[in-house]
Each structure stands twice: as structure tokens, then as C-alpha cells.
């Protein structure tokens, strides 16, 4: 999370959620807009008011927040690690790589309507069930 906060002079950054580092981050990064925990329609409105969703984790294996962001047409900027590589289609729904700032800048050029449409096809309930069945068959 701190790597994203370090970009406070280059982008207008909003962070939703709370955690053990919140107080420290608020003090260290005064330009970052920390909203605290949000959910439901309020969270959807936050997604709609922003341009890019940045997923700065290198260890979170599956951030459902990425799918929520895509449903709202937000491109994803993230590292090329497990989790994001399973969700983001490079150059279509976001950009992955070692340079988070560059990934964000590239995401700003993507079409949000196209992203939302792609997401609704790829992450439909029918498709998710098919993915689950495929993985279950591999396990047996």
C-alpha cells in the first residue's frame, strides 16, 4: 500500500479500507485521501468517480476488489503476480508489471465501457462456475 501512497505527488490517490497501518500512512502521506471502510452502493459510487484501480499488493492471491472495480469499468494497474495475472487482460482491462506508476498511466488510456463489457462476459456466474468445474476436474 505504501508504494501507492508514494505516488501522492503524481496522482490524486484515494484509499478505501482500514488496517493496522492507517494512522501511520495518514501522517506520512497527507495528500492521499483515506476514506476508511465503505461498502454497497457507496463503494460502487467511489469506483465510478475514479479513473484507475490500483492493486499494489505483490502477495494478495485473489483480490475480489479487482473484479468489483472491473464491473464499474475501472482498469486495473497492478504488479505481474499471482492474483492480478489471473484477472487482468493486459492492454484490455489493465496493465501489469514492475512499474506501478507506468501501469497507472497506461490504464488511463483504456476505454471504461469496453472494460465493463469485457468483465461482464468473462466473470459471469456461468463462466465462474465453469472455471470452478475445470479446477475441480484437475484436482481429481
Each residue's pLDDT tens digit, 129-138: 888 888 888 8
Q: Is 87:108 a contact under the CB 8 Å cutoff? A: no
**pLDDT confidence of 80, banded at 50, 70, 90?**
very high
pLDDT of residue 140: 65
**132 part of a folded domain:** yes
pTM given for the model: 0.86
Is 96 within the bounds of a domain? yes
Residue 33 lies in a domain: no
Segment 41-72, tens digit of pLDDT: 999 899 999 999 999 999 987 778 898 899 88
**2 belongs to a structural domain:** no
DSSP annotation of 90 reads: B
Structural domain count of the chain: 1
Asked if the structure places residue 12 within a domain, the reply is: no
Parent domain of 106: 38-139
Question: Is residue 79 included in any domain, yes or no?
Answer: yes
Q: What is the structure's pLDDT at 139?
A: 72
Residue 51's CATH number: 3.40.50.2000
The verdict on residue 66 lying in a domain is yes
Question: Residue 16 domain-assigned?
Answer: no
Question: What Å distances lie between residue 44 and 29, 49, 69, 83, CA to CA?
Answer: 25, 9, 8, 22
Amino acid at each position: 500500500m505504501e508504494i501507492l501512497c508514494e505516488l501522492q505527488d503524481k496522482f490524486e490517490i484515494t484509499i478505501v479500507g482500514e488496517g493496522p497501518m492507517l494512522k501511520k500512512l495518514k501522517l506520512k502521506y497527507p495528500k492521499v485521501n483515506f476514506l476508511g471502510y465503505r461498502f454497497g452502493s457507496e463503494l460502487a459510487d467511489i469506483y465510478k468517480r475514479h479513473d484507475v484501480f490500483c492493486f499494489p499488493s505483490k502477495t494478495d492471491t485473489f483480490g475480489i476488489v479487482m473484479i468489483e472495480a472491473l464491473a464499474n469499468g475501472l482498469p486495473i494497474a497492478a504488479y505481474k503476480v499471482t492474483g492480478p495475472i489471473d484477472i487482468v487482460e493486459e492492454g484490455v482491462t489493465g496493465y501489469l508489471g514492475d512499474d506501478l506508476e507506468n501501469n497507472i498511466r497506461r490504464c488511463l488510456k483504456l476505454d471504461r465501457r469496453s472494460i465493463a463489457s469485457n468483465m461482464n462476459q468473462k466473470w459471469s456466474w456461468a463462466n465462474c462456475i465453469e472455471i470452478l468445474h475445470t479446477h475441480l476436474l484437475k484436482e481429481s
